[in-house]
Amino acid sequence: MVYCGPMIELTAWEARRDRILVMGILNTTPDSFYEASRVVRRRAAIARALRMVEDGADIVDVGGESTRPGSASIPVQEEMDRVLPVVEGVRKRSDVILSVDTTKAPVAEEALAAGAQIINDVSAMRHDERMGDVVARSGAFVVLMHMLGRPETMQQDPTYADVVEDIHTFLAERIRAALGAGIDERRILVDPGIGFGKTLDHNLALLRNLDRLTDLGRPVLVGLSRKSFLGAILDLPAEERIEGTIAADAIAIVRGASIIRVHDVKEGRRTADVAERLRCHGVASH
């Protein structure tokens, strides 16, 4: 099979470089927007992560703080208490790639020491000035995501001159900042931040023009799973947005995404395998 997107270059990932990667979402929070994704007990969270691996996850993304619209930040120690035991427990039982969804350098530092390999920072390392140094010293990967403002305020009348070009410019600047912090370019991933300070039209424009972001030269990660823009289209709650997620993920892959971040790993894996074949064989372009 021909792989048509930017490759993620890490020896441990070599066996996965011939396909779109699937990142499973593991929320160790009591307040994430999709209730079924919340797993607050340590043993249950570890078991959920291992089940994701069985279902085809290449990466498990562990989050201890909700970033849904309107959510507020929690103390560093509370986030550590939610995340670290799960990272440690999964690492003892599996060699799956582990990502931690955090904007806090102390959480990132401890999670990387516990066995995580990716820091998924929704602030693109703007929230904590130490994050760049932590990632650079560890040799970890980092996901730089666009978000307008903060979760508390991001959906309050989001406005852009040109949403695609504005986010392209933002991500290019954050890549330069990461390089300036000493992070290896090959370990930088980008995420347009669908739903993070965007209207329905903004989200659709980003999906339609996702290939514009691939010229940044870094793998593009998208998180579309069960999000509110799908609910706006379908007029359905998060619990009933699986088909919408599958459709949106397929389009994102055809448009150039290298990684999809999903709640439903088995469905995500199947979606990725089919959409990748369509992209690489030019089916979707006809």
Mean of the per-residue pLDDT values of the chain: 88
241: domain range? Answer: 17-281
DSSP state of 7: P
Residue 274 has pLDDT above 80, yes or no: yes
The answer to whether residue 6 sits within a structural domain is no
Identify the active-site residue in 48, 227, 241, 279. 227
Q: How confident is the model at residue 283 (pLDDT cuts 50, 70, 90)?
A: low
Question: Residue 253 and residue 13: Cα distance in Å, rounded?
Answer: 19
The answer to whether residue 10 sits within a structural domain is no
Q: Are 248 and 265 in contact (CB under 8 A)?
A: no
Q: Which of 227, 252, 220 is nearest to 241 (CA)?
A: 227
Q: Are 109 and 136 in contact (CB under 8 A)?
A: no
The answer to whether residue 1 sits within a structural domain is no
Q: Are 45 and 28 in contact (CB under 8 A)?
A: yes
Which residues are within 8 A (CB) of 215 and not within 5 positions of it... i.e. 6 or more apart? Answer: none
Question: Residue 211 and residue 200: Cα distance in Å, rounded?
Answer: 19
Average pLDDT over residues 194-220: 95
108: domain CATH number?
Answer: 3.20.20.20
Q: Cα–chain-centroid distance for residue 52?
A: 15
Q: How many domains, the chain?
A: 1
Is 92 among the residues known to form the active site?
Answer: no
Question: Residue 257 and residue 32: Cα distance in Å, rounded?
Answer: 24
Identify the active-site residue in 48, 218, 261, 269. 261
Average pLDDT over residues 230-235: 96
**pLDDT computed for residue 14 by the predictor:** 44
Q: How confident is the model at residue 252 (pLDDT cuts 50, 70, 90)?
A: very high
- Torsion on CA atoms 183, 5, 191, 86, rounded to nearest 10: -70
The answer to whether residue 172 sits within a structural domain is yes
Average pLDDT over residues 47-67: 93
Residue 151 has pLDDT above 80, yes or no: no
Question: Residue 183 and residue 177: Cα distance in Å, rounded?
Answer: 9
Q: What is the pLDDT of residues 120-130, one digit of tens each?
A: 999 999 999 99
E runs forming strands in 13-124? 21-27, 59-63, 97-101, 118-121
Q: Looking at this protein, which amino acid is placed at residue 241?
A: R
Supply the DSSP string of 225-268, one letter for each residue.
TT-HHHHHHHT--GGG-HHHHHHHHHHHHHTT-SEEEES-HHHH
Q: Which of 96, 102, 132, 108 is nearest to 120 (CA)?
A: 102
Q: ∠215-210-226 over CA atoms, to 5°?
A: 140
